Structures are given as structure tokens and as C-alpha cells.
Structure 1
Amino acid sequence: MRITCKVTIKAVAIFLAILFLIKHSFHNWSFEHFAGKLHENNEERKNQSTCILPKLNPYDAQVLPFLSPSWNPLKKCKVSTKMHTELKDGVLKQLINSTSTCFYRCLYRNAEDRYAAGEWFLMQSNKSYREECDFIEIHCCTFVRTTFRYIHSQVHKPKLKHFQAEDISHPSVLIFLLDSVSSSTATRSASKTIKVLRENFEAVQFHYHNKVGLNSRPNAFAIFAGVRTAFLDADRFLEKSVPELIDSCRKGLNREETITFDFINNNYATLITEDWVGAFSWPDCVGYGFAPTDHYTSPLIIRSTSGRHKTVFDNYFYYGRCKETFHRVVNYAGKFLKVYENIAKFAVVWLSHPAHNTINGVYRIDEFLANFFHDNMKLLEGSFVFFMSDHGLRLGAVRSTQVGYLEDNNPLLIVAVPKYLRRNAQLMHNLQLNSQTHTSHYDIFGTLYDIIHTAQETQFQEWNMKDFRNELGETRGSFRTRSLLRPIMLNRTCDEMEIPDEFCLCKRGFQAVSKHSEVVKMAARHLLEFINNRIKRFGLQTSCSILSLSNVSVLAGDNKIFVAEKSEGGGRLRLVIITTPGNAKIEAEMRKNYSQYNIISTSVSNFKLVIVKFV
């Protein structure tokens, strides 16, 4: 067999397909003679009716070696692009100092993953232009050489559309989401932003917020639709193991269940601005299926970051102006807040690029974000603000530590309420108490539903405990869904919140076991065999190499592996192996069932996307 080292998009797709098939096949691979070899001194697993939450230290010794607060790829950047045009107060014009020939055209929102472009118009240096579009692309050149490429943005308010006024019964909502940022990461690297939110918005940070799925998509479904798209362990959730939305990638969001449309239907001005592929549509999925909001930044991002002109936009629009995608979309969001002042708004800002691949990404944007919230403080006085994340960092070496594993499961969540509600003692007391309890993204959905529907019944003045089953049904309105603005009362377990064990924040009684022990070696071999059998079972051996075991990843330091856990008649072992070719890290959990151990297929995940070599 000839092995090549070339990594392609096809390689990525096939490897992700393997993991999907592994996770969702629900076949438990058993192996004998493993049960009796567990570490004899393991603690008994805590009763499933209780949840003991961990006290995470943002400055834990395991994390410190990976921190680099001064990291900033634009630190030495100097503006090199001279502006040839300007868009000011809705007026577009060519600057008098430009000697180039310039053209402009409008870019229109068309769908989540594409845009429509108007025709090109020649600009004259002595003329002004007004266009009723949010994004205007500029191309200036001399003969055949490009001298300027840019996209101006404005927020053009539809003239004939009626919008709801912002008032005590119709507060605005801003969801500002930093992808891949844990609560601890924010504490370490967003101190200026958090200070502004605490001192000027009286915001409350939630310390035990739990992700409910592996990556952005399942967590986004929970936040905006209250729907579980992930599989659960069939042995633990006998009647709930299958996702509530089957084939969510192909079907996308259900309009009747998605909270975005509740705000749209109530005549809110709406915005979705993302600096990368949409959370619902990555990698090649259907989300909304169209651009659902009044303002949507797909034309800006898709046009400037993909296709054959990407490098040109990098040179003139981004690095030539010492800007990145997050600067562009956040500034656009600021314009939205200004244009729709005193109008009820529902806005989602989702930033993926700054922190998706590095634990140090937020340091460099902290001051920028702090300025955004400070400068828009007046405009946000009538808003609920959710400064949050979908999950913690999933990539890189820090994720291979025990603390990194926990941080991945504990995304950032900070909540602020409108200024007129900050004097409501019951509401603020609820927030403070709930910030110390176990919450999840399903509660974000419950809170958004509360804001647009339930709280209006009492003019946002009474904040007693609320069960949403009558409104949302037995599934979406169950015990897993609570409003963060109302008493949650109990510290719910991951079982009650329908959070898979591998993402659960509750302490689980794990202990360290040497990675050189026979029990770990045996487990690693069987996990590898489990994966290779999947490759063969689904006929992928012609595309993918059979994997070999390279090493067992150390997560607790001192050559200790994750650890083993006991319970009545059973227990678990959480394991990470490194395979070749490809140097991929694959994580899984195994369950002891009296005389044998089973690999829990839903727990198998790859958190270091290094693709196997292809034939």
C-alpha cells in the first residue's frame, strides 16, 4: 500500500465522516478480562441524584505554561492602504487624492452561505452616490493593476417596515458570543471587558455553565431552538438516546421552534453578524436556509474571505488597514445599535476567529471589546446582554490537560439586564443565586423565551419560578430548560439536564492511573481496534489508512492518564490515544458493566484535527 502525506479537504471530510459513524453507530465494543484490573483505590462514584461542581482556578499550574498575554499577530502592523473612497452618513464618494479609476457595486444578503452582487458603476471624483444596500464593494485600479479593494458598510433601515418601539415590555436582546472561550479563559484574558460589564451594566458571571454538545452546531441548536441534536448514551438514557432532531445537518432549523423568529414576528429589528461560516451551516449544512434577519453580514464576510480575490482583500481591506474580520463585524453591529436606537432589537454577534484555535486569542481583543461595550453603554440601556461562548477551547496542547478538558465543558456566560430592571431586587437576587448553580445552553433558550413571551405578562416585574412545559412541551420545556432570570432552586445533575457524561461539569470521582499500567495499555489497544473496525465496517479502508497506536496522551501530568471511576457494578475510564499515521488525538470513555467494559461510542471524539494519511 502506498502512503502519501498530502492533506486535502477530502481528507478532512472523510476523517470527520469516520468520527461521525463511530459516534452514532451505537455499537458497544466489549472486551473481556478488563474489569478486575481497575485501580483498587478508586473513589465510589457520586450518586446520580447529586451534582458536585468543581472549583476551577483560571490560573491553575496546568494552564500557565500555555499563556501568552502579549500574543497579537497585528502587534507590529502599520497601515499601508491609502483610502481611495469613503462612505459617510450614507454618502459614497471618491476621495480627491485618488488618481485611480474606481468602480462600486452593492452586495446583498442572499442566504447563510452566499450573497448576491449588483452591477458595477464607474465613480467620478466630483460626484456623490447614495445606495440602499448595507455593503458596497469598491475596486480601484490603474490600467490592469489593482490599487484599492474595499467593502464599505452601512446599516440601511427599511423605509416601509414597521418596527416595535423599545420599551419596558419590549426590551432588546444582544447575544455577543466568542467562540471557544471558557469561563476561566475570559477571567484570564478579558478582564477589561468584564470590568466594563460589571461596573457599567451590573452584569453577573455564571461560573458553572455547561456546554451540551461537542462543538458549535449542537450548542447553537440548544441556544436558539432548545433542541438536542446530539446522541445520548443508550444505556443511560433508554428512551432519549436519539437526537430530537434527526439529520439536523440536512434539515436545518425548524422555523416554529427557533427563537430568532419569535423576535422577528414581534417586529423587532434583527441582526446576525458572524466573522466566519455560520454556526448552523458549518461544515456544509443547512441552518436557517436563508438570511432570516433584517441585517446579515454574509455578503461582507463571504466576499472578503473566500474566492479568488481573498488575497487582494487581505492586502487592502484587512491587513493593509491593520484590521481583522472581528473588527469589521463588531463595528457593523455598533452601527446597527445606533441606527435602531429606541427600537426593540434582537442582535447576535458571533466571533469565531479570535479564539477558536488558541487560548491566547482573547487577550488581543479585550480592549477592543471593552471599548465596544463602553461606547454603546447608552444604546444598550434597554437591552438584555448575553456575553457568552458556545464551548471552551477544543484544540491545542492545553486541551490535553485535565484543566483544559474541564474548561472546554465550561463556556463563558455573563448576563446583564436592562438598566430599568437593575433595581428589581428579586430579579438581581435570582441572577446572583443562579450564577452559582449548574446551568446549560438550554437555559439560554428558556431565558430568551421568557423575555419575548412570559415576562411580558407581569411587565417584567415578577420573577417567580416558571415551568415551561405548557408552552414548550414535555421535551423542550422539561426540567433541563429554566430561565436564568427566575429561581432555578436545585443544582441539577447532568442526567436531568440531558448533558452527555463526557461534557458534564459535575465531579465524577475520577482518579489518576499511570499511562504505563496494563489496564491503560489494554484499554488503548481496544479503543484502537474499535476505530479500525469502524473503518473496515463502513468500507473506508480504500480511502483511509488503518491506524496504529503511537502513544497514550497524558492529561493529568506525571505520566498519569485520565483515570478510572467506580460505581455499583460498573465504572468508567476516560482515555485519549494518539494514532499514526496522522498524529490524531482520539478521546473516548469506557464503561465497566460487571465483568466487561464497553466503549461508549457517543463519547468518541477527535479534538486535534490532524488528518490520517491517504493512499
Structure 2
Amino acid sequence: MSWIAAGRGGGDDISPFFPASSGLSVRLRYLFLVATIFGGSFIIISLSNYTNILFLENEVQLGISGSSMDIHQNLETYNDRFTIRTKGCSIPALHPYDESIKRFVEFPRGMKQCPNTNKSLLNNNRTHIWVLHENKKHHNISDERIFSCCYRAFSRPSAIKDIESSGIDNRVQYKDCVYFDNYIKATDEFVRVSCHFDRIEVYQQFFLFAPPKKFMSHGTNEWAGDKQAYNVLIMGIDAVSRLNFHRTMPKTLKFFKNRGAVELLGYNKVGDNTFPNLMPLLLGYKDSELKTTCFPYEQSTFDNCPFVWEWFKQAGYYTALGEDSSSLGSFNYFKKGFSHTPTDYYIHTFINEAEKNTGKIKDFNSYLCMNEKYFFQVLLDYIENLTLTLKSSKLFAFFWEITMSHDYLNYPMVMDTSYELLLNKLEASKYLHETILVLLSDHGIRWGNIRSTKQGRLEERLPFVYILTPHSFREKYSAAYSNLKLNSRRLTTPFDLHETLNDLVDLKNIENENIIFRGDNTYATKRGISLFMPVPDNRTCEMAGIDDHWCTCHRGKKLSTDSSDALEAAAHLVRQLNLLLHVHIQCAQLSLAELMDITEMEVGTPSEKEIGWREFMVTVRTLPGNGIFEATLRQTGADWKLAGTISRLNLYGNQSRCIHNYQLKLYCYCK
């Protein structure tokens, strides 16, 4: 279809055939001209294709939030039969507005807004907090003489003695009040302000600042490392598939496309939820490997794990870690977090206090608002402020948004304009001239009606990744950048991003001559391959460390749910669920209520098939609780085993309240 895009702007040549007054667009007139030349039979096919393009163009331009983007940049992505097609992996191309998906996509008009949005009693900038006197009337403040506000700084104390292990990452220490009635200079990182009228608290809010800090290795806040180094800024959005990002955040998408960011079209998740997809990115390990490396038991903290930010800290970077939820945090959801502060800037302490004291609008799993302000906006404002604070230094930062996107397919639409605004500010400040920016997700939405569709199943396994590099990087490290673009259409994983970050610690790794030298090594056989090296064309899910259950390269054939193979597979899946739960007597024994779907997967080489194994993807509903579970099972003769973990496709709510293991909560129905 590239010839259609090429016809744009060619209207002067074909206008004699179809005058402008005819009402036909230039591109449609061009189609008629081609049909006239090549014969009438062609016009039927062309008009059919053009109708599809018009539909797609209208969907994307109208979007769901009303922004536009150049559809011709996306024709190849949306209209190819395959998103990637290599010797080792073929991933089918999916239309973002496929008929099976369209009905689920709508702006979340029923979503509750943060309360009292225009009635805040306080406001702030990067250095001060002040009273909005015009809003006192909303808080029944009528007499200035008996009104005052208490500024209380708080922090995470360094001492951990006498702190229970369950709250070691949530420890907090408050300073005494400093009173003001008009404005106050903010000299602290975390601040709680409460305002009183006639000795009664009428308002409180939390404020997050990014003050300069002395870097531990050389005692200053000035950059003392490699002058050619780049900031590395990673911004994650939880539970958004690649195509749902296209549907729900078109303004943010347009920003990255217009600046030549590389999109990883074959980025495949390697685990079920957030944790098993972030550990390969941040540590290079599968979550199942942590027990033998740095996280030996459930009550451990993560202090002994060699996170990627440690590499950058040793290279002289400031480091930052922040999520916009404490209760659902990647390191805190039924986990202990960190006993020692992991990075130079670490906002868990702030988010935890703000969530407990001012969390509003709990929309299923998470609080959306910090009083009148969205938590995701708190995170974005902090990113902007931190980049301004450390503009003369170098920063490695990992930020993760959870609150808005975790539970609902369409809520990211609410964030689109805010993300675009932040990105434009970073560009205007020239911060992006010296920064490698990665915007990514961990997986698509894992439950709900869309997940019951074939496309929804694939989308859940295909999150998005955009990597935006400065022009100076593209020129100086041209071989590495060419490989990055090549890998856009190769099978990639979080393990690869981990190796890519490793290369950015020391840029000598990716100088042109070193890229060529490394090509002679056995890098291509590793589970994780730096995206600055060419990912092999013959790479399979097995080579990339992707379990068959998560692999999107495999094709399948539907089977009858009444077949003996289907019933045997379903029975084995339920047995596996009960085996996982057997030591937890508070969980009910599950039984098969319905075999909902079974597909035989085309996996393995002919020689492997001769051994006699088959794989089935099975979906069942169990009782009690009506849990819906999906798993891939491998059959070898009479033996069955899981090929990966078991997914839960519907929400469990309070059904699992009696168990505190983050993995088993998916399966347990409390007696």
C-alpha cells in the first residue's frame, strides 16, 4: 500500500480527470486513475483496501481523545500480515480497532474525578508553598486571625534498629511544625501541610520536592563523570499493550513517532504480571531465579539484589526510583521492599504517607488521587522537577505508573495529555538532547472482557517499548543505532533491555569499532542480547527465555471441548491448581465447572515432534469462586506438565483475603 502514501501531494497531475469540485479526495482520484490504466478488475480490490484505510484513518484521527496523527506512518504496522516475520518467529499483525476489540474501547466517562479539584487551599512550585486565599470560602474559613497552616517535613530515617521487618520500607520520621498563614519556603524533600481554622483541621495535603543532594562519592552535587555520557530516563506505564497504547495515548504516541523513536514491535513479555517482567529488566534474572541469587525467601528485602541502578551509581550517576502507588508497588506488594534506601532519590516514603493519609477514589485496587490531585500527575511533576534539579549532572531514573492503568483498559486515555505535556517540557528544556528516554510497559491488560478474545490474549503478551535517542547519539554511535532500528522487527524481551542498559553505563561498548568486534563473539546465543547488537533472525522464544505459555510466535488449532484430549488437559490443569494450594488449608479445593476453550499449539521442530509431545493452551472455569484460568500444558505420552505459569483471566477481589503470597492469591478461594 506504499503507493497510496506516495500519491499524497500529487494532486496537480491527476486533477484534470477529477476536478476538485467532484468532492473526491486526491488519493481516491488517484485510485480511479490507476484502475483506468490497469483495468476494471483492479478497482474493486483497490476500493476495498481504500475503505479499510479510511476506516483506520478515521479511528486514529478521531482517536478516543480527539487527537490526530499521520496514519501513513502506521500503514505498514497495521496492514502487514505480520508484525514481525523472521526465521525464528512470526507474530501476526493485529489491527488496533479490530471488530472483536472496538466494542471495548471508549472514553472512561464514568470514572470519578478527584474531589474538590478547583477548591485546593494550597498551591506550590519547585521552591514554595502558599495559601490560595480565594479558596478559603470553600473551607468555611471566615476569620484570618484564627487560621494557620503547619508545615511538617518528614523523611525516611537511616537507622533501622527496632523496626519490625513488615514495615521496614515504610518507616518515617516527622519533624516539628513550622507555622505559616500566607506562604513558606520548602527546603525539604517530603512535606505534609495541615491547615487549621479555630483549632480544627480543615485541610491537609502532601508536597513532593526534588532538592539537590550531595553525591556520596565526591561530596558535591556536580557531575564528575564522563562528559559524553547520557542521562537514562525510564518511564513505565503498567498493564498497557502495544496496541492499547496506540488506542488510548495517541498524543504521546505522536510525540515519539515524530521524533524518530524506535518502537520494539516484537517485544514479548516473559512472565504473568509486573514483578516477573521487571526483574529481567532491572536484574537480568527470572523471578524464579531470585531465590538462588539475592532473594532467598518471601520475608527477604531486595537489598542484596544487584539492580541496574547500582551500575550507574558506580559510574557517577545520580539514581532515582519512584512509583505512584505504595500498596501496589513492584517491590512492596506482599513483599518487604528495601531496608536500606536503594537510590539517591527514592519516593516510596512519600507515596506511602500520602496514600495512607490523603488517598481518595479507590477505584478497585488503587487510590487514584492524593486529595484533589491524581497520583500519576504527582509522579510526572516530580520527574520534571528532578530533571531540572540535576540538569548539570547525570541521572539514571526508573519511574513506574500504576494507579491509572493497572485495572482498566481505557483509563490511560486520561493520562495522554499529561504525558505529552511533560515530554514537550523535557524537550523545550533541551533535557532530551542529553538523554536516552525509554517509555514502556510490562504487559497488556490481564483480565476483563477483552482478555477473552483471541486478540486480547495476544495483546496481553505484547507490551509496548519506545526508545528515543538524541541526534548526537545516532551520529556518534551509528552502528549501534542501526542495530537498534533493525531490532525493531525482531523478537525481543526485558532481558534484552537489561543488556542494553548495561551498554549505556560505558559507551565504549557501543562505539562503532567495538560493535563490529563484538559481532564475532557468541553474544547471539545468550538469553539477553543488547539491542545495540543485531538480534539473530532465527531467534525463537526458547532462545529468548520466553516460556511457551507467553510466546506469541506460536500458531494454534482450535479443538473441540468435548474431545478426550481436551477433557484430560482440563482435568490436569485443575489438579495443578490444587497442587499449588495443597499446603494452604485455608484455600478451598477447586473443581472443574467448565472447559471454556482449548487450542493445540504448533510448537517445536519436526525432530522434537518425533519424540511425541504436544502442547495445549487450555482455559477453564472452576468452583467455588468462578475463577477463570488459562495455562499451556505439555503432554508427553501419559505425562503432563505446565509450560509456564497459570494465568488468571478474571479478578479475584476479596476471594483470596486469607492468603498473603502474591502468586497464590491468583488461585486461592478462601473457605
Structure-1-length-normalised TM-score: 0.78
Q: What is the match of residue 238 of structure 2? A: 179
- 2:97 is matched with 59
How far did residue 261 of structure 1 move? 0.8
Which residues of 2 match residues 550-561 of structure 1 at below 5 A? 550-554=593-597, 561=598
* Distance (whole Å) between structure 2 residues aligned to residue 364 and residue 493 of structure 1: 37
- In structure 1, runs of 5+ residues without a counterpart are 1-47, 232-240, 555-560
- Give, in whole Å, the separation in 2 of the partners of 1:161 and 1:72: 50
Equivalent-residue separation in structure 1 for 2:295 and 2:600 (angstroms): 33
What is residue 351 of structure 2 aligned with on the other side?
Answer: 301
Identify the range of structure 1 (142-151 vs 91-100) with the bigger mean alpha-carbon deviation: 91-100
Tell me the number of residue pairs that the alignment of Structure 1 and Structure 2 aligns: 536
CA distance in 1 between counterparts of 2:244 and 2:337 reads 29
User: Are residues 1:137 and 2:183 paired?
Assistant: no
Residues in 2 aligned to 1:181 and 1:313: alpha-carbon distance in whole angstroms: 20
1:230 maps to 2:279: no
Listed as ranges, the matches of 1:374-413 within 5 Å are 374-377=424-427, 378-413=430-465
* Inter-CA distance 372–318: structure 2 relative to 1 (3 Å threshold): same
Q: CA offsets, 1:215-269, max 9 Å, x none? A: 21122111111112237xxxxxxxxx99766636444546573210111122212
Q: 2:322 aligns with which of 273, 281, 297?
A: 273
- SS of the aligned residue for 2:577 comes to helix
**Corresponding residue for residue 606 of structure 1:** 648
- Contact 2:114–2:374 (CA under 8 A) maintained in structure 1: no
Task: Report the Cα distance in structure 2 between the residues aligned to 1:256 and 1:602, rounded to whole angstroms.
Answer: 24
1:52 Cα shift? Answer: 2.8
Aligned partner letter, 1:299: T
Contact 1:359 1:393 survives alignment (8 Å) = yes
Give the SS at the match of 1:439.
coil
Match of 1:204 among 256, 262, 274: 262
1:57 offset after TM fit, Å? 2.8
Instruction: Name the counterpart of 2:573.
Output: 527
Relative to structure 1, is the Cα distance of residues 106 and 571 closer, same or farther in structure 2, using a 3 angstrom cutoff? same
For residue 192 of structure 2, what is the amino acid of its counterpart? E
Residue 271 of structure 2 corresponds to which residue in structure 1? 213
- Structure 2 residue aligned with 1:415: 467
Change over 3 Å in CA distance of 1:151–1:575 after alignment to 2:
same
**Per-residue displacement from partner, 1:292-331 (whole Å, max 9, x unpaired)?**
2222221331112126x545999xx975875311011111
- The C-alpha deviation readout for 1:387-418, integer Å capped at 9, x for no partner, is 10112221222222222222122111111112
Deviation at 1:77, TM superposition (A): 6.9
1:10-34 Cα distance to aligned partner (Å, 9 max, x none): xxxxxxxxxxxxxxxxxxxxxxxxx
Residue equivalent to 1:189: 248
Residue deviations 1:493-534, cap 9 Å, x none? 121122211111222x31012334443234323322443355
Structure 1: distance between partners of 2:194 and 2:593: 52
Q: Structure 1: how far apart are the matches of 2:496 and 2:519?
A: 12
User: 2:187 aligned with 1:147, yes or no?
Assistant: no
Work out which of the residue numbers 480, 483, 487 in structure 2 matches 1:430.
483
Deviations 1:548-598 (A, max 9, x none): 3222334xxxxxx3345473312111111111211111222222213x240
1:216 and 1:279 in contact (8 A); partners too: no
1:2-21 map, 5 Å? none
Q: Contact (CA 8 Å) 1:162, 1:267: kept in 2 or not? A: no
Task: Indicate conservation of the 8 Å contact 2:445/2:451, yes or no.
Answer: yes
1:94, CA displacement in angstroms? 4.5
Alignment match, 1:587: 630
CA shift in 2, pair 1:400/1:244, >3 Å: farther
Which residue of structure 2 aligns with residue 29 of structure 1? Answer: none
Supply the distance in 2 between the matched residues of 1:251 and 1:76 (Cα, whole angstroms): 36
- Provide the secondary structure at the position in 1 that maps to 2:431: coil
- Which deviates more from structure 2 when the two are superposed, residues 109-118 or residues 521-530? 109-118
Do the aligned partners of residues 74 and 369 (structure 1) sit closer, same or farther apart at CA in structure 2, a change above 3 Å counting? Answer: farther
**Which residue in 2 is equivalent to 1:124?**
180
Match of 2:149 in 1: 102
1:599 to partner: Cα distance = 3.3
Once the two structures are TM-superposed, the CA of residue 452 in structure 1 deviates from its matched residue by 0.3
**Paired residues of 1:182 and 1:392 also in contact (CA < 8 A):** yes
- Say whether 1:444 aligns with 2:490: no
| Residue in structure 1 matching 2:397, options 339, 347, 353 | 347
RMSD after superposition: 3.3
Contact 2:503 2:510 in 1 (8 A): no
Structure 2: segments with no counterpart, 5+ residues: 1-85, 137-143, 159-167, 604-608, 656-667
CA distance in 2 between partners of 1:613 and 1:83 (Å): 45
Q: Provide the identity percentage.
A: 23
Post-superposition shift, 1:443?
0.7
Paired residues for 1:482-501 under 5 Å: 482-501=529-548
Over residues 328-368 of structure 1, what are the superposed CA-to-partner deviations in whole Å (9 max), with x where a residue is unaligned? 11111110011111321111110012221122122221111
CA distance in structure 2 between the aligned counterparts of 1:447 and 1:601, rounded to whole angstroms? 28
Q: Distance in 2 between matches of 1:571 and 1:361?
A: 39
Residues 320 and 243 (structure 1 numbering): CA distance in 2 closer, same or farther, change over 3 Å? closer
3-state DSSP class of the match of 2:100? Answer: coil
Residue 203 of structure 1 deviates from its aligned partner by 0.5
1:95 shift after superposition? 5.2
Q: Render the CA deviation track for 1:179-210: whole Å, top value 9, x for unaligned.
A: 1111111122222101112223x211110011
Change (3 A) 1:257 1:533: closer
